[in-house]
Structure 1
Amino acid sequence: MTAPTPAGIDADRVETLRTRTADAFPALRSDLEALVRIPGVSNTEFDQAHVDASATAVAELLRGAGLDDVRILTASTPDGRAGAPAVVARRPAPEGAPTVLLYAHHDVQPPGDDADWVSPPFEPTERDGRLYGRGSADDKAGVVAHLGALRVLGDELGVGVTVFVEGEEEIGSPTFTAFLHAHRDLLQADVIVVADSANWAVGVPGLTTSLRGLVDCTVEVAALHHAVHSGQFGGPLLDAPTLLARLVATLHDEHGDVAVAGLVRAPDPSVDYDEDAFRADSGALDGVELAGTGPLTARLWTRPAISVIGLDAPRVASASNTLTPRATAKLSVRIAPGQDPAAAMDAVRRHLVEHAPFGAQVTVTDGEQGKPFQAPLDSTAMQAARWAFARSWGTEPVDIGIGGSIPFIADLLEVFPDAAILVTGVQDPDSRAHGANESVDLGELERVVLAEALLLERLAQG
Structure 2
Amino acid sequence: MPDQGEDRPTDLVAAVTAVLPGARADLERLVRIPSIWADPAHADDTRRSAEAVAALAQDAGGNDVRIVAVEGGAPAVIAHWPAPPGAPTVLLYAHHDVQPTGGDDLWTSPPFEPTERGGRLYGRGAADDKAGVMTHLAVLRAYRGRPPVGVTLFVEGEEESGSPTLTALLQEYRDALACDVIVIADSANPAVDVPGLTTSLRGLVDVTIEVAMLERQAHSGVFGGPVGDALTVLCRTLATLHDEHGDVAVPGLVTGTTDAPDPDEATYRGDAGLLPGVELIGTGSVNERSWLKPAVAVLGIDAPRTDQVANVLLPRARAVVSMRLAPGDDAAKAERALAEHLESHVPWGAQVTVTPGRGVAEPTALDTTGPAYDAARRAFSAAYGTAVVESGLGGSIPFIAEFARTFPGAAVLVTGVGDPASRWHGIDESLHLKMFGLGVHAEALLLAELAPAPRTA
Residues 1:26 and 1:242: Cα distance change in structure 2 (over 3 Å): same
Residues 1:405 and 1:452: Cα distance change in structure 2 (over 3 Å): same
2:69 corresponding residue in structure 1: 74
Is this contact kept in 1: 2:60–2:145, CA < 8 A?
Answer: no
Residues of 2 paired with 1:38 and 1:291: CA distance? 37
1:3 corresponding residue in structure 2: none
Q: Does 1:295 align with 2:285?
A: yes
How far residue 373 of structure 1 moved from its aligned partner, in angstroms, is 1.0
Q: Does 1:431 align with 2:422?
A: yes
Residues of 1 paired with 2:269 and 2:50: CA distance? 37
How far residue 422 of structure 1 moved from its aligned partner, in angstroms, is 1.2
How far residue 48 of structure 1 moved from its aligned partner, in angstroms, is 3.8
Alignment of structure 1 residues 3-82 onto 2, 5 Å: 16-77=11-72
1:121 corresponding residue in structure 2: 111
Q: Does 1:165 align with 2:155?
A: yes
Residues 1:237 and 1:455: Cα distance change in structure 2 (over 3 Å): same
Is this contact kept in 1: 2:250–2:337, CA < 8 A?
Answer: yes
Deviations 1:102-145 (A, max 9, x none): 01122333445333233333332221111122221121111111
How far residue 31 of structure 1 moved from its aligned partner, in angstroms, is 2.2
Q: Does 1:401 align with 2:401?
A: no
Residues of 1 paired with 2:373 and 2:9: CA distance? 19
1:363 corresponding residue in structure 2: 353
1:456 corresponding residue in structure 2: 447
Is this contact kept in 2: 1:105–1:167, CA < 8 A?
Answer: yes
Residues of 1 paired with 2:251 and 2:102: CA distance? 37
Alignment of structure 1 residues 335-374 onto 2, 5 Å: 335-368=325-358, 369-374=360-365
Residues of 1 paired with 2:150 and 2:436: CA distance? 23
Residues 1:186 and 1:279: Cα distance change in structure 2 (over 3 Å): same
The code of the aligned residue for 1:391 comes to: A
How far residue 15 of structure 1 moved from its aligned partner, in angstroms, is 9.7
The code of the aligned residue for 2:382 comes to: R
How far residue 44 of structure 1 moved from its aligned partner, in angstroms, is 4.5
Residues 1:356 and 1:68: Cα distance change in structure 2 (over 3 Å): closer
Is this contact kept in 2: 1:208–1:400, CA < 8 A?
Answer: yes
Q: Does 1:241 align with 2:256?
A: no
Is this contact kept in 2: 1:198–1:206, CA < 8 A?
Answer: yes
Residues of 1 paired with 2:337 and 2:31: CA distance? 42
Q: Does 1:205 align with 2:207?
A: no
Residues of 2 paired with 1:418 and 1:48: CA distance? 35
What is the total number of aligned residue pairs between the two structures? 449
Tell me the C-alpha RMSD between the 2 structures. Answer: 2.6
Residues of 2 paired with 1:346 and 1:39: CA distance? 34
How far residue 252 of structure 1 moved from its aligned partner, in angstroms, is 1.1
Is this contact kept in 1: 2:98–2:124, CA < 8 A?
Answer: yes
Over the matched positions of the two proteins, sequence identity in percent amounts to: 56
Residues of 1 paired with 2:324 and 2:253: CA distance? 10
The code of the aligned residue for 2:450 comes to: L
Residues of 2 paired with 1:295 and 1:208: CA distance? 18
How far residue 340 of structure 1 moved from its aligned partner, in angstroms, is 0.6
Bigger shift: 409-418 or 171-180?
Answer: 171-180
The code of the aligned residue for 1:427 comes to: G
Is this contact kept in 2: 1:269–1:302, CA < 8 A?
Answer: no
Bigger shift: 243-252 or 216-225?
Answer: 216-225
Unaligned runs of 5+ in 2: none
Residues of 1 paired with 2:145 and 2:241: CA distance? 56
The code of the aligned residue for 1:209 comes to: T
Match for 2:296 among 300, 306, 309? 306
Residues 1:108 and 1:221: Cα distance change in structure 2 (over 3 Å): closer
How far residue 457 of structure 1 moved from its aligned partner, in angstroms, is 1.0
Is this contact kept in 1: 2:211–2:233, CA < 8 A?
Answer: yes
Is this contact kept in 2: 1:219–1:364, CA < 8 A?
Answer: yes
Deviations 1:388-426 (A, max 9, x none): 111111111222222221112222122222211111121
Is this contact kept in 2: 1:7–1:461, CA < 8 A?
Answer: no
Residues of 2 paired with 1:187 and 1:363: CA distance? 40
Is this contact kept in 2: 1:8–1:461, CA < 8 A?
Answer: no
Residues of 1 paired with 2:363 and 2:302: CA distance? 29
Residues 1:332 and 1:32: Cα distance change in structure 2 (over 3 Å): same
TM-score, structure 1 length as denominator?
A: 0.89
The code of the aligned residue for 2:411 comes to: A
How far residue 226 of structure 1 moved from its aligned partner, in angstroms, is 4.6
Residues of 2 paired with 1:220 and 1:43: CA distance? 21
How far residue 374 of structure 1 moved from its aligned partner, in angstroms, is 0.9
Alignment of structure 1 residues 70-109 onto 2, 5 Å: 70-77=65-72, 83-109=73-99
How far residue 360 of structure 1 moved from its aligned partner, in angstroms, is 3.6
How far residue 276 of structure 1 moved from its aligned partner, in angstroms, is 1.4
The DSSP-based 3-state class of the residue aligned with 1:383 is helix
2:181 corresponding residue in structure 1: 191
Residues 1:33 and 1:239: Cα distance change in structure 2 (over 3 Å): closer
TM-score, structure 2 length as denominator?
A: 0.90
Residues of 1 paired with 2:44 and 2:142: CA distance? 32
Residues of 2 paired with 1:7 and 1:295: CA distance? 45
Residues of 1 paired with 2:46 and 2:208: CA distance? 31
Unaligned runs of 5+ in 1: 1-5, 78-82
Match for 1:144 among 134, 137, 142? 134
Deviations 1:338-378 (A, max 9, x none): 10112112222232233333444433222242211111122
How far residue 429 of structure 1 moved from its aligned partner, in angstroms, is 1.3
How far residue 236 of structure 1 moved from its aligned partner, in angstroms, is 4.1
